[in-house]
Structure 1
Amino acid sequence: MCSVVSYLSSSELVAGFQRACGLFPAPRSTHERLGPGNTRIHGRRNGTCQNGEHEANGHKSDAVRSDYEVKNWPLYFLFVGSATLGNEVFYITFLPFIHWNLDPFLCRRLVNMWAVVMYIGQVMKDMLKIPRPTSPPVVKLEQRIEFGMPSTHAMAATTIAFTLLLSAPERVKVGLVAAVVLSALVSLSRLYTGMHSALDVICGTLISALVLVVSYPHWDSLDFFQLNSSLSPAITLFLPLVLCYKYPELDHYSATRADTTIILGASAGCSVGYWFNQRLGITFEPTGPFPVTLPPLSTETFTLGVARFCVGVSILVLTRQVTKWIALRLLCLYYGVAVHNVSAHRRKEIEVPLKFSSYSAIGWVNSVVVCRVFTLVGLL
């Protein structure tokens, strides 16, 4: 058993997967150049942060230059693109897209489960403190100052895919093969980018599966409580905020606490918004007998979907900028620090309320305001 764990956690296994996919280390280079057979060789300095610190498995170290050459460009773009599906830009677009264009019920389920597994994964990273694969031999395509076990990308992708698989059939008739493919691609992308071992990815997937299995029988009860209990808004705001303040402390700064606060803040804001919609009796959910048959994709429905997406994302981005601008200045004024003092912004008493307030506002606007704007401008 120990030998299996050692094999799955080895950097050599990750490096072997990268080579099999056409990603190889290259000699040191300060500029992109053409290699044999017109293969482009890219040079980048891995582990360097904006503040001059350097990453080495979650700790500071000397910078390591890791150049690479790509011999299979389709796989490169496939896996690098798949890796972005586990980042903030995906969550702030995909989850609202489900709400605006498919079914708020599905979005609610997704947001709830996403927040739970991501909090578990982020806390486990900073408690276990297991390093990421080492470079060399691994080529690292991303820069992250955080630990590796488990892969929260794999956890989030698995949770989103199988929450859809379990929830959608009772609501809408829609094929979900793409969700399973997305889960697999995101998981494999963590090996390709050199950010996780096979063990990190496997454990992340299994943890998500366990959370889904344990929680699934209670989804309907939790959904009813979230929408109808008078205690729901207070609990869904207070509990996540306490969890953010109680996040495990490290001996160095890591972005995991900020990322976790963003996720819990967005989830809390959405939850309050769903409760608010229920009070008003305007939930924007599909009507009629379930499951609902989706209309065929026509030019009109496609144009409306794109218009809703563009308008909605613009509102969310505006909300983020305005809320962050106001909250940052109020917090800096209260604690007597300069607005442009980045190191002060990382203090828990500033970082947690700043992130939580900004993203809870985004969650509330996403679930309450955006659809009402769609109604006003004729996009619903």
Structure 2
Amino acid sequence: MELVSQLVRLLRDLQDPHKVARFQQLCGVRGSFAGQPSLSNGSCPRQPHQERTDEADGLRGRIVESHSPQVNGTDRETSAIRQEDSSDLAKQKPRRRNSLTGEGGQEFVIDNAFLYYLFTFGTELGNELFYITFFPFFMWNIDAYVSRRLIVIWVWVMYLGQCTKDIIRWSRPPSPPVVKVEMFYNSEYSMPSTHAMSGTAIPFSLFLLTYGRWQYPFIFGLLLALCWCFLVCTSRIYMGMHSILDVIAGFLYSILIMVIFQPALEIIDNFNLTCTYAPLIIISLHLAMGLFSFTLDTWSTSRGDTAEILGTGAGIACASNLNYMLGLMPDPPVSLLPLAVPAITTGLVVKCGTRFLLGVVILLVTRAIMKAITIPLACRIFHIPCDDIRKARQRMEVELPYRYITYGTVGFTALFVVPVIFRVLNLS
């Protein structure tokens, strides 16, 4: 019993939002809201999800707000702090706002610009912009075999992570004491960190899938995976989006999923390639997973993100099947393994850059066209007013089909349509 009580205390300690705030202060992040409580060892009580969001909204106006005469020592000290904050306006960042919900947070001051940009880059390694650039680049310029298997792992890790969040329903670290440097995912629940999960699954799966297939030093691949994982995990604490416990749980959960699915990866990939009915089965399975896996008590970005992930996985799997049936993009024979890393020449860089830029433009145009078609179409089918696109996109009847179809098309385009265009233009 003593061991259990110590474990419970440790978990509560790791969930303490004041530890997140201390880490932020150590990295040079200071909230500029007035009346911020001093950091103590006591933990901040967790509040219900919606109540905490409302509290964060109420803080928006409480930013270095008073310049009136002070009457006592404490007020004079507060005034001096506020004057110091005012002198830092050059380093003060504007309020972040969630483009989907309109939710905003307090302003904050950055004392260490290097860490700010480093952790901003780290958190972007788990965002949509990274996925829509990294996966295609790897697919078109390095190894389609590795990329399609990597996406299978990514889909399962992210899907299970998002569903687990909406089952456990733990709130984000409250503000104050935490400074919300990022706001986009603030409407989601917190446990586990899916950024930490993807930041663990992608680099380590990449390492496991490429080592022995490509010629490079073992220590290089391992160190790259460790640094990538560490940067993404710590960036979520820096951004004020997760407690230490959320990040550790996300890391361990991702490792567990990888251990379970790694033996089945060969079976899944062969099924996607060779089964005649694989596209129909995959599309139906991913649709069912998105519809019946979980329900939300209040809207958040998690449902749309889940549909986006499942749609991308379905599109990639269908493209893989079609490529195999038509004899396109064949995997290199085993006799050629391990593959040697080619010499980096100007011609190679130009060709890779041209493929990447042209391909990403095609994907972005495809996404824009599909969004413009699917949102109004879903609104019309389900008789939902689309005067306010933001509200319409939050309705399940619109959000699920729009995200699933749009990103399914993007995934299919990335692995089938774009490589065909490359062949036509002699860029393969």
TM-score normalised by L of structure 1: 0.91
SS of 1:148's equivalent? coil
Q: Match for 1:317 among 364, 371, 388?
A: 364
Residue 53 of structure 2 corresponds to: none
| Aligned position for 1:327 | 374
**What does residue 11 of structure 2 align with?**
5
Structural mapping, 1:70-89, within 5 Å = 70-89=110-129
Q: 1:57: which partner in 2?
A: none
> 1:42: which partner in 2?
92
Checking the alignment, whether the CA contact within 8 Å between 2:192 and 2:247 is kept in structure 1 is: yes
Any conservation in 2 of the 1:151–1:204 contact (CA below 8 Å)? yes
The match for 1:354 among 391, 402, 405 is 402
Say which of 184, 189, 199 aligns to 2:245: 199
Q: Distance in 2 between matches of 1:191 and 1:51?
A: 22
Alignment partners' CA distance in 1, 2:336 and 2:97 = 54
1:59 counterpart residue number: none
Does structure 2 conserve the Cα–Cα contact (< 8 Å) formed by 1:139 and 1:193?
yes
RMSD: 2.2
Identify the match of residue 234 of structure 1 among 244, 268, 280: 280
Pick from 133, 155, 162 the counterpart of residue 115 of structure 1. Answer: 155
- Structure 1 position 220, deviation (Å): 1.5
SS of residue matched to 1:282? coil
1:2–1:232 CA distance, 2 compared to 1 (3 A): same
Task: Report the Cα offset of residue 264 of structure 1.
Answer: 0.5
Secondary structure of the structure 1 residue equivalent to 2:264: helix
Alpha-carbon distance change, 51 to 183 in structure 1, aligned in 2, over 3 angstroms: closer
- 2:344 counterpart of 1:278: no
Amino acid in structure 2 at the alignment position of 1:179:
A
Tell me whether 1:159 sits opposite 2:206 in the alignment. Answer: no
Deviations 1:169-219 (A, max 9, x none): 232224523333111101110000000001000000100100111111222
Q: How far does residue 48 in structure 1 lie from its aligned partner after superposition? A: 6.6
Cα deviation, 1:254-298, whole Å, max 9, x if unaligned, reads 110001100110110000000100001112544661111011211
> Aligned partner of 2:178: which letter?
V
The amino acid of 2:28's aligned partner reads G
Change (3 A) 1:133 1:284: same
* Alpha-carbon contact 2:355-2:422 (below 8 Å) kept: yes
Give identity over the alignment, percent: 35
Give the conservation status (yes or no) of the 8 Å contact 1:106–1:168.
yes
1-structure distance, mates of 2:151, 2:423? 23
Q: In the alignment, is residue 298 of structure 1 matched against residue 348 of structure 2?
A: no
Kept after mapping to 2: 8 A contact 1:66/1:136: no
Residue 346 (structure 1) shift: 2.1
Cα 1:331–1:68 shift into 2, 3 Å: closer
State the match for 1:268 in structure 2.
Answer: 314
CA contact (8 A) 2:93 2:110 kept: no
Unaligned regions of 5+ residues in structure 2, if any? 1-6, 34-62, 66-82
Question: Secondary structure of the equivalent of 2:262?
Answer: helix
After TM superposition, list the pairs within 5 Å mapping 1:28-39 onto structure 2.
Answer: 28-29=63-64
The Cα of 1:168 is off from its aligned counterpart by: 0.5
- When Rg is computed on C-alpha atoms for both structures, the one with the higher figure is 2
Tell me the matched-pair count.
368
Q: Distance in 2 between matches of 1:38 and 1:330?
A: 49
Q: Name the structure 1 match of 2:72.
A: none
Q: Which amino acid aligns with 2:200?
A: T
> 1:93 aligned to 2:133?
yes
- Tell me how far 1:35 sits from its aligned partner: 5.2
TM-score relative to the length of structure 2: 0.81
Alignment correspondent of 1:340:
387
SS at match of 1:338: coil
In the alignment, the residues of structure 2 paired with residue 193 and residue 369 of structure 1 have an alpha-carbon distance, to the nearest angstrom, of 37
Show the counterpart of 1:23: 29
CA-CA distance at 1:13 after TM superposition: 1.0
Aligned-partner Cα distance in 1 for 2:313–2:260: 20
Distance 2:144 2:98 in 1: 40
1:125 to 165, 186, 189: 165
1:40, 1:70 within 8 Å by CA — same for their partners in 2? no
Q: Which moves more between the two structures, 363-372 or 215-224?
A: 215-224
Query: Which structure features the higher share of strand residues?
Result: 1
Q: CA deviation at 1:36?
A: 8.7
1:215-226 residue pairs with structure 2 within 5 A?
215-226=261-272
**C-alpha distance after superposition, 1:116-139 (max 9, x if no partner):** 011111111111110111111111
Classify 1:303/1:80 alpha carbon distance in 2 versus 1 (closer, same or farther; 3 Å).
same
State the secondary structure of the residue aligned to 1:172: coil
Q: Is 1:377 aligned to residue 425 of structure 2? A: yes
2:414 aligns with 366
Q: Which residue of 2 aligns with 1:67?
A: 107
Residues in 1 aligned to 2:291 and 2:113: alpha-carbon distance in whole angstroms:
43
- 1:146 matched residue in structure 2: 188
